[in-house]
């Protein structure tokens, strides 16, 4: 019998989910703690289930991807999803189930030798990295209950024998500092690390696949989206100023370029989503 993992004690909140209430209403999402041997590489294992009886597919806009890589198995498709730079929509139609592992930022480097530069906005075939992960493996895994299925995925990752790499931990600390210390420029991050701008850029290209400037901008937009969700009447000028934008228009342009909608449109769509959910539960 393979590894069986336990659910995480606390619920995981995805900072990148642009409609958290809508996601929670439509999707059953659980996380599982990784075994000790995988904790340097795996943030958590996860399961997603949905059963859509409305006749209309639910569109979950995971617009604000953070610098994670997910290894996943499902009947329609299995693979390794790299970080997405821009907008991506996920559709939950009919019924479905996905089993996955979310790797720490930079940790995919331990499973795939060589630089990750340019590996974004796409999905890698599972067998390109894990030779044993053929269709028979996928079908066997999905025949198990959730705890055993995530255990089977954990066994697959452990069989690859990833080696600890201090650079992975450095990437994690830098991203955590950017998010918690509200650093807004490469220069600020370089001063915090004591390393050069060029070194930081190369580190992120090799271990994340995207430059550190993307991470800095993504953090700004994540903060902006959070402010918009929690404030009934957001002040766009104040949000732009707090995030270090030179002008309100620059902030709005950045937001629309990534989300495909202005902050005002985003707030209106959230209100419509909440209203629809309220009507369904009454």
Q: What is the per-residue pLDDT for 73?
A: 96
Angle of CA points 265, 62, 111, to nearest 5°: 155
Q: What is the per-residue pLDDT for 59?
A: 54
Instruction: Tell me the per-residue pLDDT of 124-183, one tens digit each, with 9 for 90 and over.
Output: 999 999 999 999 999 999 999 999 999 999 999 999 999 999 999 999 999 999 988 878
Does residue 67 form part of some domain?
yes
Does residue 232 form part of some domain?
no
Does residue 27 form part of some domain?
yes
Does residue 269 form part of some domain?
no
Q: Which among 44, 40, 46, 211 has a CA at the least distance from the CA of 119? A: 211
Instruction: Tell me the per-residue pLDDT of 245-261, one tens digit each, with 9 for 90 and over.
Output: 889 999 999 999 888 88
Q: Provide the pLDDT confidence category of residue 282 given band limits of 50, 70 and 90.
A: very low
- Integer Cα distance of 254 and 122 in angstroms: 22
Does residue 208 form part of some domain?
no
Does residue 12 form part of some domain?
no
Please give the structure tokens belonging to residue 135. Answer: 């269709």
Does residue 233 form part of some domain?
no
Does residue 213 form part of some domain?
no
- Integer Cα distance of 208 and 212 in angstroms: 9
Q: CA–CA distance from 170 to each of 104, 116, 150, 175, 232 (Å)?
A: 11, 16, 27, 9, 38
How many structural domains comprise the chain?
1
CB atoms within 10 A of CB 71: 25
Instruction: Tell me the per-residue pLDDT of 172-220, one tens digit each, with 9 for 90 and over.
Output: 999 999 988 878 899 999 999 999 999 999 999 999 999 999 999 888 8
Write out the residue range of the structural domain in which residue 129 sits. Answer: 20-159
């Amino acid at each position: 019998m393979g590894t069986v993992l336990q659910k995480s004690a606390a619920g995981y909140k995805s900072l990148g989910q642009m409609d958290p209430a809508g996601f929670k209403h439509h999707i059953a999402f659980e996380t599982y703690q990784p075994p000790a041997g995988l904790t340097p590489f795996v943030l958590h294992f996860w399961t997603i289930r949905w059963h859509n009886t409305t006749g209309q597919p639910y569109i979950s806009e995971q617009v604000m991807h953070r610098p994670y890589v997910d290894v996943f198995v499902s009947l329609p498709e299995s693979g390794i999803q790299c970080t997405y730079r821009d907008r991506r929509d996920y559709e939950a139609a009919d019924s479905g189930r996905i089993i996955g592992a979310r790797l720490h930022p930079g940790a995919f480097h331990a499973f795939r030798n060589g630089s990750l530069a340019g590996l974004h906005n796409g999905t890698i075939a599972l067998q390109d990295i894990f030779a044993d992960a053929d269709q028979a493996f996928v079908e066997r895994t999905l025949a198990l209950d959730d705890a055993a299925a995530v255990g089977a995925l954990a066994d697959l990752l452990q069989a690859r024998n990833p080696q600890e790499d201090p650079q992975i931990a450095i990437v994690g600390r830098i991203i955590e500092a950017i998010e918690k210390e509200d650093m807004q420029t490469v220069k600020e991050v370089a001063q915090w690390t004591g390393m050069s701008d060029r070194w930081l850029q190369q580190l992120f290209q090799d271990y994340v696949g995207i430059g550190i400037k993307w991470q800095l901008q993504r953090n700004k937009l994540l903060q902006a989206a959070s402010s918009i969700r929690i404030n009934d009447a957001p002040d766009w000028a104040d949000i732009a100023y707090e995030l270090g934008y030179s002008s309100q228009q620059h902030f709005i342009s950045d937001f629309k370029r990534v989300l495909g909608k202005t902050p005002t449109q985003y707030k209106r769509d959230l209100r419509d989503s909440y209203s629809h959910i309220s009507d369904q539960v009454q």
